Amino acid sequence: MDLLGFIGAARNALSYIKPAPDHDASWANDVAEFERHFGVPYEGFIMIIEHLSVDQKKMLDATLEVNPEAAVLWILSMEEVES
């Protein structure tokens, strides 16, 4: 795995999150702020997203449009389930 490439892609993916204009959402533009705000590295968030089903990804996209912080919290609350 190209770890540096993965981290670079994760940082670029921050632009995918569109915070509401009336909130302090510095976490949506900076990986260090993301970790400070949520207590989890941004790379961990991306790793969870990689395991989502197609339907879950659609739900994530829709939730990010309406409430990005809730979308991130939803993803971070997921637990890995062995199949």
Dist. CA 36–CA 33, nearest whole Å: 5
Give the pLDDT confidence score for residue 21 in this predicted structure.
54
Q: 64 in a domain, yes or no?
A: yes
Q: 31 in a domain, yes or no?
A: yes
Predicted TM-score (pTM) of the model is 0.68
Work out the number of other CB atoms within 10 angstroms of the CB of residue 20.
11
Q: 72 in a domain, yes or no?
A: yes
Q: 23 in a domain, yes or no?
A: yes
Q: 82 in a domain, yes or no?
A: no
Q: Which of 9, 23, 17 is nearest to 74 (CA)?
A: 17
Q: 83 in a domain, yes or no?
A: no
Give the pLDDT confidence score for residue 1 in this predicted structure.
43
Give the pLDDT confidence score for residue 25 in this predicted structure.
76
Residues of the chain scoring pLDDT < 50: 1-4, 6-7
The structural domain count of the chain equals 1
Q: What is the pLDDT of residues 12-33, one digit of tens each?
A: 555 555 555 556 678 888 899 9
Give the pLDDT confidence score for residue 80 in this predicted structure.
63
Which domain, by its residues, includes 30? 3-76
Dist. CA 19–CA 61, nearest whole Å: 13
